[in-house]
Amino acid sequence: MKKKDTNLIEKGLMLPLMEEFYTIQGEGEHTGTAAYFIRIGGCDVGCHWCDVKESWDVDIHPATNTDVIVSNAKKFTDTVVITGGEPLMWNLDYITTELQKKNIKTHIETSGAYPYSGKWNWFCLSPKKTMLPLNDIYEKADELKMIIYNKNDFKFAEEQAQKVSENCKLFLQPEWSKREKMIPMIVDYVMQNPKWKISLQTHKYLDIP
């Protein structure tokens, strides 16, 4: 990466863009909503079941002018989801300010393992055991989305739920490759613990990005 690009990325004026696309939000509180997804490259959280591992290596994703990304998003809808990779590795103050100036709602999906930046209409926190969220991130969460890979993850989900605000929406989502085994367990768990809701990766059932 060029030194000039590095300086602009530090200011949030460029971002290592992996992909951007218009689709339907498939998960969590806003399932079924049309949204423009901005996927930023770079992640060292290292979830073994990650289905976007090609996002991890930041060096293969080109530094892209943030104003261009904002302009592209404006063509489609009034909701943008910034995801990764791990988007909070980067300074997101500029991109979210510019999006909101254009009356675009800003959503993020993050592990919370890096410092908070950006202005958000919706903050989805999805903690991972490999790198826990920073303490001050929990209070920012509008939505806690816990991925359930095995039965031990229910305990982890409860531990994380204790750290978010009482207004935070709580979701349990089966890891895709284990869904047939885990969905019945999640259904039983939510019926016994109705503070939780079930999130499914509906975009995969619909065969859309």
Global pTM reads 0.95
Cα separation, 13 vs 95, in Å, equals 8
Q: Which parts of 58-178 are beta strand (E)?
A: 63-65, 79-83, 105-110, 122-125, 143-148, 169-174
CATH for 3-206? 3.20.20.70
CB 126 within 8 A of CB 157: no
Cα separation, 68 vs 15, in Å, equals 10
**Domain ranges in the chain?**
3-206
Q: Residue 50's pLDDT is what?
A: 87
Q: Residue 190's pLDDT is what?
A: 98
Dihedral sign (CA 157, 160, 165, 169) = negative
Q: Residue 46's pLDDT is what?
A: 85
CB 83 within 8 A of CB 37: yes
CA-CA distances (angstroms) from residue 62 to 4, 69, 94? Answer: 13, 12, 18
Mean pLDDT in order along the chain per 10 residues (209 residues): 77 96 98 98 88 88 95 96 96 98 98 98 97 97 98 98 98 97 98 98 94
Cα separation, 78 vs 89, in Å, equals 24
